[in-house]
Amino acid sequence: MAQATFYFPRGFLWGTATSSHQVEGFNLNNQWWAWEQQEGRIVNGDKSGPACDWWGGRWREDLDRAYEGGQNAHRFSIEWSRIQPTPDKWDETALDRYREMARWLRQHNMIPLVTLYHFSNPLWLEEKGGWENEAVVNQFSVFARKVVEAMQEYCNLWITINEPNVYTAFAYLEGVAPPGKKNLGAAKQVYTNLARAHAAAYHAIHEIQPIARVGIAHHLRGFFPARRWSPLDHLAASLLHNGNNRLFMDALVSGVMRFPGQAVKIPHAKDTQDFIGVNYYAQELVRFNLLNPAGVLDEHRFPPGAEAAASKLIANIPEGMFYWLKWAKQFEKPIIITENGIDDSQDRLRVRYLIQHLHQVWRAVNFNFPAKGYFFWSLGDTFEWERGWTQRFGLWEMDPQTLKRSKRPSADLYAEICHENGLSSEMVARYAPELFAGMFPN
């Protein structure tokens, strides 16, 4: 039997990712909490409630588990509504809690990767139009300054905005997230303001902390023609790729956001990434439906043979990881995989998913792609937005009723990988023997 280990570079970041509203609990002052209270908004009528009780202090025990599991980094986010509960008030006590978390990570030789915005708005911001109102650009910049000034002693790795494309699509095109709109004009305004706000925050952070490394967590999802012979399928795939993957990225490279038929100049956004954050979960085949051209966005399916999660929202397509790391390489910046994972309450598919995706990351590193770290989504089960508690992404299972944590086999696998700084044939043989022959041929 072949024996080998796929080692990663020294200093490679191994971590997990979380976000404030999904883990803290009782975020009473943001738009998502208000949304959850409305009937029919969340699957099964679920509510975040105490979530994972991080605001109650249980972040320590969860991060202890990450530390004991060999992780040398953790990605978490700042809840804007806690730091700035009203337009004219800053809550220093809340800021101290985040500073304490960052200090704890540093004391345990773990690198904090801090996200400033992860989908949740203070109610006062939402009531003033949220991201549709251009005033948000300055408001977000002021918020970023406040956080960075307070936390710069412990943090120099920042994500300004998580998945601007997902936020815009869910909240302003599909209507499944607050404010629940389906308005293309509003979506374009929001997308533009997100780019402007990122740029303003980027420059503010570098004024305060010149050594900072600042980026965006981009949700990259492949769209490929289901029928290679069909020009309409190619067109649909191209439109989806440009709208989801290129539009925002191009604005941060060139300073121009090129909507179909309209170019919006954002000169201060040019070259405002110190690294490329890659959130990759899956990719899809796209078929143009001549009977329903307006429904092209819904004509998606996973490639034949791809193992799908029970939710049917994610599938195990590991070659997509290599594809997107190669795509990100063109921007000549360091790359951090800021999210990657799959919902799997039985923890069967997750083990294969993790092994195969990390194998693709290793391949990319050996092609000299500048991948510097990997953050698995997520450390434990979290409240998954409009899907409530129905999707389980955690290495650790959590019962939302009792808050009891239980280790899944994938947590042990990931711990071995982190401690080893590599993926070995022995690990694959024990956790997913069905993959062995393909990864370690004689």
Question: In this predicted model, what pLDDT tens digit does every residue of 394-425 receive, in sequence order?
Answer: 999 999 999 999 999 999 999 999 999 999 99
- Res. 297: pLDDT tops 60: no
CB atoms within 10 A of CB 260: 8
pTM comes to: 0.97
- Res. 1: pLDDT tops 80: no
Asked if residue 179 has a cis previous peptide bond (ω within 30° of 0), the answer is yes
- Res. 295: pLDDT tops 60: no
Percent of the chain with pLDDT over 90: 95
- Quick one: how far is CA 130 from the chain centroid? 21
Which residues, other chains included, contact 180 with Cβ-Cβ below 8 Å and sequence gap of 6+?
35, 41, 171
Catalytic residue among 24, 339, 384, 386: 339
Q: Got the DSSP string for 130-187? A: GGGSTTHHHHHHHHHHHHHHHHTTT--EEEEEE-HHHHHIIIIIS--STT----HHHH
Q: Find out whether 217 and 115 touch, Cβ atoms under 8 Å.
A: yes
Strand partners, 30: 122
Query: Which residue, 376, 295, 285, is CA-closest to 16?
Result: 376
Which structural domains are found in the chain, ordered by start? 12-410 (3.20.20.80)
CB atoms within 10 A of CB 258: 14
Question: In this predicted model, what pLDDT tens digit does every residue of 35-60 receive, in sequence order?
Answer: 999 999 999 999 999 999 999 999 99
Question: In this predicted model, what pLDDT tens digit does every residue of 78-118 receive, in sequence order?
Answer: 999 999 999 999 999 999 999 999 999 999 999 999 999 99
Residue 375: per-residue pLDDT: 99
Give the end-to-end CA distance of the chain in Å, rounded to a whole number: 7
100 catalytic? Reply is: no
Question: In this predicted model, what pLDDT tens digit does every residue of 388-400 receive, in sequence order?
Answer: 999 999 999 999 9
- Res. 278: pLDDT tops 90: yes
Catalytic residue among 36, 126, 163, 386: 163
The C-alpha atoms of residue 223 and residue 281 are separated, in whole angstroms, by 13
Residue 181: per-residue pLDDT: 98
Question: In this predicted model, what pLDDT tens digit does every residue of 331-353 receive, in sequence order?
Answer: 999 999 999 999 999 999 999 99
- Res. 123: pLDDT tops 90: yes
